[in-house]
């Protein structure tokens, strides 16, 4: 049984838009990438930059296609995705426990948060020598570095989300004699869930960023290694192709997380739920 029931007046129905407008809305996100691709192609065709500085899209696609045909590209993408997945799950697990503890308990916050906030300021590459010393140059050090990048945004968003829950909601729960677990289940957790998913998205993005630094630690496979190999062998098309693959994989995983978040937050009746219909 839900303790707090919020009744929101239903917005008046919006007029129906044409099917053409609805179909175009699905493709709006491709307008800017296609525009950039056209500008890139035009720049390459006019010879404004040399092929060693900015290769054409056709050259990048050709080199990636060769890697695909010999089976190397699948291996690079798969191992990078695996590292990000492990680092994301590890960092999220630790961040969820500590973020929930510091957000719920003022005493725990006083003990832990100052140290965590200090560690947050340490640059990502500063962890590399320490992790190599502790874990060697193998997968453990790479996953640990990615987990560090994921940890801080998830922790911070969950902690601030819990601390930002409306005090009146908590007071209503206490008046209704809710115990600690019931208070968390019915009030604190639902109220902090939007901030938590924001932290997850930010952590996932940092996971893809940190994996590049992680794959500089003696990796022989992965998109980060592929970029380094392109630099060492003078193949800018491989470098740009790897960047594009990073962007695509980051967007795909973010879209999956957004879809999960929409399902988990389907009970929300906020501006974002109305915004889509307003902009059709």
What is the CATH classification number for the domain harbouring 224?
Answer: 1.10.3720.10
pLDDT bracket for residue 49 (50, 70, 90): confident
Residue 75 lies in a domain: yes
pLDDT bracket for residue 266 (50, 70, 90): confident
**Cα 94 from Cα 101, distance rounded (Å):** 11
Residue 202 lies in a domain: yes
Residue range 149-171: mean pLDDT, rounded: 92
Contacts made by residues 167-173, CB under 8 angstroms, sequence distance 24+: 169/4, 172/3, 172/4, 173/3, 173/4
Residue 200 lies in a domain: yes
Nearest to 238 by CA among 115, 50, 62, 104: 62
pLDDT tens per residue across span 164-202: 988 888 888 888 888 888 888 888 889 999 999 999 999
Please compute, for residue 43, the number of CA atoms within 13 A of its CA located in the half-sphere on the CB side. Answer: 14
Question: What is the domain count for the chain?
Answer: 1
Residue 80 lies in a domain: yes
Residue 82 lies in a domain: yes
Dihedral of CA atoms 191, 197, 198, 199 in degrees, nearest 10, equals 110
Q: Which domain holds residue 131?
A: 55-275
């Amino acid at each position: 049984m839900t303790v707090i029931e919020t009744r929101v007046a239903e917005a008046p129905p919006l007029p129906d838009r044409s099917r053409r407008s609805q179909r175009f809305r699905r493709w709006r996100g491709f307008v800017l990438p296609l525009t950039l691709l056209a500008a890139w192609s035009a720049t390459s065709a006019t010879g404004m930059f040399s092929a060693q500085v900015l290769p054409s899209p056709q050259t990048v696609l050709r080199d990636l296609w060769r890697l695909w045909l010999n089976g190397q590209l699948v291996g690079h993408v798969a191992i990078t995705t695996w590292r990000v997945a492990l680092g994301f799950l590890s960092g999220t697990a630790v961040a969820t426990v500590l973020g929930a503890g510091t957000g719920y308990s003022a005493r725990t916050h006083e003990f832990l948060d100052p140290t965590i906030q200090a560690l947050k300021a340490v640059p990502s590459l500063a962890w590399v020598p320490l992790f190599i010393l502790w874990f060697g140059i193998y997968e453990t050090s790479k996953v640990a570095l990615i987990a560090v990048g994921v940890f801080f945004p998830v922790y911070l968003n969950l902690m601030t989300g819990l601390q930002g829950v409306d005090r009146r909601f908590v007071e209503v729960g206490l008046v209704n004699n809710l115990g600690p677990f019931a208070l968390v289940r019915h009030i604190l957790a639902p109220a902090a869930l939007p901030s938590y998913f924001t932290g997850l998205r930010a952590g996932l993005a940092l996971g893809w960023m940190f994996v590049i630094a992680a794959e500089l630690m003696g990796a022989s496979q992965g998109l980060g290694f592929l970029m380094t190999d392109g630099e060492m062998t003078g193949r800018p098309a491989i470098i740009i192709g790897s960047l594009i693959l990073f962007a695509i994989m980051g967007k795909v995983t973010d879209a999956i997380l957004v879809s999960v978040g929409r399902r988990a937050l389907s009970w929300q009746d906020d501006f974002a739920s109305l915004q889509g219909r307003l902009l059709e």
